[in-house]
Amino acid sequence: MRWLNLLAGLWLLAGFSGCVTRATAEAQARAAFMAGQQSVRMHQLSQAASVNFLGPVKNAVIAWREDLTLAQALVEAEYVPKTDPSLLVLVRRGHATLVTPKQLLGGQDIPLEAGDVVEIKQ
């Protein structure tokens, strides 16, 4: 409850003063907090249903689907340079896996999971 008092005080200090009861200020602060929490959850859901690329691609975010592989995602991301990348770093749940273009071309494709991040090194 103490944080609600702090939020209500900040609300008043920010110039939104007027005749507001403590209960109303607490309700407004609670509503603002819940709206922020919902926004964070929606952002997390949208990130979890995608694969993100770091590097020279036209589409840095690819919608994830169950059968998506690294090679397919690279094509969808539209890798820009004319030269092959030197290395791909697949980050999944905080763990990095190094993948060379030679491995992909040799048929060692990797199924992707929602939330994966692929960093392209040149």
pLDDT of 39 > 80? The answer is: no
**How many domains is the chain partitioned into structurally?**
2
pLDDT bucket at 63, cuts 50 / 70 / 90: very high
pLDDT of 47 > 60? The answer is: no
Do residue 36 and residue 74 come from a single domain?
A: no
Do residue 84 and residue 27 come from a single domain?
A: no
pLDDT of 45 > 70? The answer is: no
**Two structure tokens written together for 112:** 């992707």
Do residue 58 and residue 41 come from a single domain?
A: no
Do residue 73 and residue 102 come from a single domain?
A: yes
Do residue 40 and residue 54 come from a single domain?
A: no
pLDDT digits (tens, 9 = 90+) for 101-111: 999 889 999 99
Do residue 40 and residue 66 come from a single domain?
A: no
Kindly list the distances between the CA atom of residue 108 and the CA atoms of 45, 50, 56, 69, 121, in Å, as whole numbers in the listed order: 29, 22, 22, 10, 18
Q: Which domain holds residue 62?
A: 50-121
When pLDDT is averaged across residues 79-96 and rounded to a whole number, the result is 92
3-state SS record for the chain: CHHHHHHHHHHHHCCCCCCCCHHHHHHHHHHHHHHHHHHHHHHHHHHHCEEEEECCECCCEEECCCCCEHHHHHHHHCECCCCCCCEEEEEECCEEEEECHHHHHCCCCCECCCCCEEEEEC
Looking up tokens 């392209």, which residue turns up?
A: 120
Q: What is the pLDDT, as a whole number, of residue 57? A: 95
pLDDT of 38 > 80? The answer is: no
Do residue 96 and residue 111 come from a single domain?
A: yes
